[in-house]
Structures are given as C-alpha cells and as structure tokens.
Amino acid sequence: MSRYRGPRVKIIRRLGALPGLTGKILKPKSSYIDRSTSNKKVSQYRIRLEEKQKLRFHYGLTERQLLKYVCIARKAKGSTGQILLQLLEMRLDNTIFRLGMAPTIPGARQLVNHRHISINNDTVNIPSYNCKPGDIITIKNREKSQSIITRNINLFQKLKIPNHLTFDLTQLRGSVNQMIHREWIHLKINELLVVEYYSRQV
C-alpha cells in the first residue's frame, strides 16, 4: 500500500487530530454523531484498525513501513508498543517536525529529500534515518535552505519541543539529547491496540 496523498481533512474527520499530518482543526458539526453515543456496536477489530490508521497517517508511513517497525519492536527488549513509538519518534522527518522546522511530517520529509538537512555535518536525504543521542541537526549553508527553514519556524513553531530535543534559534540548530520517553509523546493513541492489530494479522 502506497503512502496516502489524498485530502487530509477527510482523514482527521474520521480519526481525529493528527498534528503530524496536518495542523488543521475541524470545527464540531451539530450533525455529527459521536461513536460512543451511537447505538451501533463497534467491533474490537475496528477499534484496533483505527488506532493503527492514526499511527500510520500521523507519521506518514506506508503499511509495509509500519509493519517493519512493529517487527523490529517485537524483537527488542521491553514493551513492544513503547518501543514502536520510540522508533517512529526518532525518525529524522519526525524529529525535524518536532523541532518546529517544518509544519508537518510530510513537509519535513520534503526538506530531507531535497537535501536541506545535515546531521553531524553530513548531508542526509533519508527521512527514515534513525536519530541518536548526540546527533546535531543543522541546515545546509545555502540561502534557499536557510530561508525555507526560517520561514517555517516563524510560521509554524507552535508545538512545545519535547524534552529529548533542544533547538538553538540563533544558529538554527537542533540537537538530540537522549532517547524519547513515552510521556513526552503527546499523541492520543493506544499503541497496545496497534500491536494487537498486527498480532492478529501476522
């Protein structure tokens, strides 16, 4: 399954706010019927599927990519769900988004693909690059790169930067201080339901 490129409002109307996908917030409609108040019974499969879809659309992953991360998380020691979120959060495109250098994760992915970003003075054009503690994320010393990032920061740096990251506004430089903890991920999702979904699929 390829990466979703359709209307983003349609997705957040179905799944709720996903800041990584879009910063838009829908106004509540009087005609909307909340699922919890509806008489229609919701299956456990649907609940698990929706949690999986939230994760996939928020981080902008294909089905194959997400399944790969689930398999890696299963093999690691510790809680599979928490390790899965940690792997996704430490991706380069998500880290750039969390630093406020891009409005969304797809926007951050575009910056990486167009070679605007360097890590430890080496140009990296792989959005899935796994950031590690000690990594220094800088912007290429080109006028175009600098102007794009500066504009993004002025317009979109609204979200609080997680505790595992720091950003130097004067030098336009971000740094990864440590691995992220679950409580620093402000995303309304039950990662255990995602793990359960894949445990029944594989």
Q: What is the mean pLDDT of residues 166-195?
A: 89
pLDDT reported for residue 30: 40
E strands, the chain, in order: 117-119, 122-123, 136-139, 165-168, 173-176
Output the CA torsion sign for 90, 94, 95, 98. negative
pLDDT for 39 beyond 50: yes
Residue range 118-175, pLDDT digits in tens: 999 999 999 999 999 999 999 887 788 888 888 878 776 666 788 899 998 888 899 9
Q: What is the mean pLDDT of residues 80-106?
A: 92
With beta carbons less than 8 A apart as the criterion, state whether 133 and 97 touch. no
pLDDT reported for residue 36: 47
What domains sit in the chain, N to C, each tagged with a CATH number? 8-87+183-199 (1.10.1050.10), 91-179 (3.10.290.10)
The sheet with strand 122-123 has its strands ordered as 122-123, 117-119, 136-139, 173-176, 165-168
pTM of the predicted structure, to 2 decimals: 0.83
Distance of CA 160 to the CA centre of its chain: 14
pLDDT reported for residue 143: 80
Of residues 19 and 102, more confidently modeled: 102
Of residues 36 and 26, more confidently modeled: 26
pLDDT reported for residue 35: 47
Of residues 6 and 100, more confidently modeled: 100
Residue 59, Cβ density class (10 Å: 0-12 exposed, 13-18 middle, ≥19 buried):
buried
